[in-house]
A and B are shown apart, each in its own frame.
Chain A
Amino acid sequence: MNYHHTKDINMESNGKRYWRGIEELENDLEFVKNAEKEFSDAPTITEDGSQPNRRDFLKLMGFSVAAVSVAACQAPVKKAIPYLQKPAELDPSIPNYYASTFFEDGDYASILVKTREGRPIKIEGNDLSAISGGKTSAKAQASLLSLYDTDRYKGFMKGKAEISMEKADEEIKSALESAGAIRIVTPTVISPSTKAVVKAFTEKYKGTKHITYDALSASGMLEANKESFGTAMIPSYDFSKADVIVSINCDFLGTWISPVEFSRQYAQNRKVGKERKEMSRFYALESRMSMTGANADYRTAIKPSQEGAVVASLYKKITGSDTFKDEKINKALDRIAKDLKSAQGKSLVVSGSNDVTVQTIINAINNELGSYGTTIDTNTPCYLRQGIDADMNAFIDDVKGGGVDAVIFFGTNPVYNHPRGKELKDALSKVKTRISFAMRPNETSELCEYICPNHHYLESWGDAEPKKGHLSLIQPTITPIFKTRQAQESLLIWAGAKVTNYYDFVRGNWNKAIFTAGKGKSFDEFWANTLHDGIFVGGAVKVEAKVEAKAEGKEDEKPTEKEEKPRVAGAFKGDVEGALSDIAKEYKADTTAELEIQLYEKVAIGSGMHANNPWLQEMPDPITRTCWGNYVCISQVTAKKKEISQNDVVKVTVGSTSFELPVLIQPGQANDSISVAVGYGRTTAGKIGKGIGQNVAPLINKTGWATAKIEKTGKYEEIAQTQTHHTIMGRDIIQEASLKEYKEKATAGRNLITIHTDKGPKRPTDITLWKGHTYPNHSWSLMVDLNTCTGCGACVVACQIENNVPVVGKKEVINRREMHWIRIDRYYSSDANFTAEQHKKGKEDGSYGDMEIPSDNPDVTFMPLMCQHCNNAPCETVCPVLATTHSNEGLNQMAYNRCVGTRYCANNCPFKVRRFNWFHYAEDSRFTEVNPTQTNDLGRMVLNPDVTVRSRGVMEKCTMCVQRIQAGKLEAKKEKRRPKDGEIQTACSQVCPTNAIIFGDMLDENSQIGKLVAEEHDKRAYHLLEEINVKPQISYLTKIRNTDEAKARFAAESHGGGHGDHKEHKEHKEEKGTKKEEKH
């Protein structure tokens, strides 16, 4: 029996086919051309724009020989410069970890900062934190690089000129004293001490008002909760307790409120195994394909304008009955309502809407379902979003009316990211004294008179209270690099406070407001412990919240401790009827409008605050797999209707605003709607972040959508996508099943292929020419649970930082030369089945693409793919210089200095995980714009000193963080013991918010991975491309979807003559026969 045939049919005849993008589906010419190739053609960047010729080569050769001979004459004298006074805690080459806190752009994480020789080089999660739980987002990981950003302000500025701190203080103080109305504009402040600073400032300058402005606000929710419960707060959610989750346009795994925390909770109830065969069911209703929606068991596309009506209908269906106009949605809602009702007290409905009415109904639904007190905790409010949009609008009105004398922008950039940014920009000159604490130039600071740059958070002291009773500290991990000053300190100095040193202030504030004496601990002890742990749980801030409210003059709107009375479900008092009638009025689809536009936040870019961070710019979007820019997402049907194809630049007009962006065809996008990401189109952001994409902030409104018109411009702009790269030729690498099938049989969905031999059918792994390897000591491995991988991309950035992976920029990504060692493949599936008939047709006219009916709403699977560390590694066999070899601990090792760059290994790699250095990214001046981590001295401070910076012409790939393995082993050896499980972590496994990637020693029976392998090796665990018998070290666990419909594409039968293969094989033969006959 010919094995290959079996496979073909297997894949295409009894299952869905997976395609990596529309290009593959449509057999796009460019795609077909590139699909077979590992690398794109000859280098496109040359020194002078022309191709290098033979003469240049000879010249270079001659010069090199001469240079080498000259260089060989004299060994360079290298200096070894020791410390003058070595700090006691610091030993060169041994990392120190400091607990701190990351809170930027609404994203919170308690972190440990790894420093080497006094410079932070990596951020890890703090295991002690109950909120982030030792995990971090991609944004938190990448925030490290903004510390070493050369575009930062190097000192205090007045206009364009430098000014000394003292002089600036003097001038600002006198200006503030004469000012009547002062406004401090900040994003959400979760720091009790910062609030105390603002209070001190307000006491000195009575006309001060603190405006909290979140670029990505949850104002609607705050106000709805105020209406429903009396307090403007965001409650704590617990997704792990919910058996049924419904998200309506809410990207809670990617961007909403506290995504890392929610991801962790969500995954807890999605893990299945021997002990647990239950998981939550997750419904998503959304207009665009979001990362969260991609993880849903059932996803329904709704038009943005239907959002309100859908929420209203769901409420009605839960409380009584209702019929939604759209048949498809109605059916989905019926099912959701039924499931929700049967999971009373164990369900959760969330919405990302910023509309009070919608959020009120959501509250009502949750109230009906008894979620309050179970999955929603209103007693522990989350403080991560506090901005009320009306406040900011009032501020802009004030500025326009000339009613503001002085303004201080502290961590905000409203000129860029507020919908009324343009108005503010024009009116800002009416404010006499304009001060900015911006770290690097931005659109708002550009208009400010005084710039008093704040420290980076890694240079600062501070504290945070992300949730009531959960506190954490921020401590500096490096001496300030530039002549900057902590903003809080500036405010204290201007307020003429007694204590101006912010460290003393924070300490004093904690002593006063947080520390409770009488536990036998002195404050010093308490402080030292908290600083060491980074977190403190239990204490509530005594004074600050109240004071803050007073300063605001809005006592009742702020999360004050006084008002937080225990609340139970019955306490809901929202005006549901009013909200319902409002929704009926507002959410009326404009049938005359051709399109609806929805704005969204990208996982990596957020509000655009980190636009100058190349790590985030190059991190592929979880869904679209694009980087370096935004675009218009449009559904396939609509694109066809409008005769638009991928990469066409279209002009989008919304009211009086218009912009031009390329088009990306996105399966899952609701028909007749488009979606565009915010956070792009920065005009002043630094060398890297400037001018990438278009700014759509002016379109932000409370409902999150508007009607739009699009027209083709005839222009064409290629979107930098990693999606169509690294083809795996449509093999069956995703194995999945429904929960129902899994419960029946643990191997559900597995493709247990057999090969027919003279001794009967055998598993491919049982037949081998190879001798294999013996692992006497360790067998390192990674196990990836496809079921809990949400595709967030934190691993990609963490790996990039840990392993000094260069950033290559948009052009090189388009050339398909991105360097990420780990990628997350996102596979769409379609519900269309491959019948033998269709297969036959495809064979005849080569139109496999036609056989797919493009699914409007595909199933999505995320698959993190790194080097599989094959035991029978194809790369090792073909390397002519033995640069890639196998270790006795299961690693496929790569010796860069041995590599001569033949790229045979990459050609022979079935997983396409090897990366070739086309350039000397570390030295090449053409990459300075995008790759500051290696091309300038400040940026280089971030490099991991334990990992080689690769040069041009060599291959590289995932090493399974061998430097961490070696370091961990050494620690164990020093202490004369075996390494403990969990002690050694790869960068990807350490950061993964859902623990989808597990690392460990398979030979250690007590390790998590050892146990999992023992438990799952004949059940859910599988190796990729088992049939080619490369025997990877890395294994995957099948994806289980909690659906009623069957999802398994493979019978999971390996033996017996009666399995499907035979029959289809016959068919296949017949087909062949027929074809031949026809030819004759």
Chain B
Amino acid sequence: MLDVRNLHAGYGAVEVLRGIDLDIAKGEIVALLGSNGVGKTTFAGVLSGLVPAWSGTTRFNEEDITRLGAGRIVDRGLIHVPEGRHIFPNLTVRENLELGAYRRGRGNRARNIDHVAGVFPRLKERFGQKAGTLSGGEQQMLAIGRGMMAEPDLLILDEPSIGLSPLLVEEMFDLIGKLKAEGLTILLVEQNVLQSLEIADRAFVMENGQIRLSGKPSELMDDPDLQRAYLGLA
């Protein structure tokens, strides 16, 4: 479904991504792991067209989307839920969700809102409330729900667990598992290695703008490199 080859990108003179290769098949949850500042969020931004690529290619559903603008990429069903609960604080929860269908899924808006309400019952109670009054966990759910409004083929979740209490992190990962059960394909960008590996089908580990390791969680868990460098174990 997604096929990234030798992707380079950065800001100004600073090269952040130094040749990324990554692929995702339909129905998978793929985790992209790595510590702060290795380029995970930049990578997510390049995929969704928010950050321009320097070179390399991104193919999505057999189509080259490397040079497309963010709007056109949304049209094709690659939906990015940015890092840090980017919601619209002065709009209501319902309005936030409706904006999720700004370009894609406009016709099915009512049906999709019901669907999101089913997945996130806590949001439903707060539909008329301003999104800025939601708790951190609820805001993250809203951001994901808003992404679902665009009927994603591939959903990129950038650090959905960041800044949440341990209990909520648990809940968030349960929810992501639930989305997978619905057949969504997900790229999960996370620092939370252990929990990500629990629900992922495959994982890529990024370091310094490059992919260092990749494979099934079971293989990675046994890898002494990963244990040392990213888990702080061993």
Partners in one complex: no
- List residues of A whose CB falls within 8 A of some B CB: none
- List residues of B whose CB falls within 8 A of some A CB: none
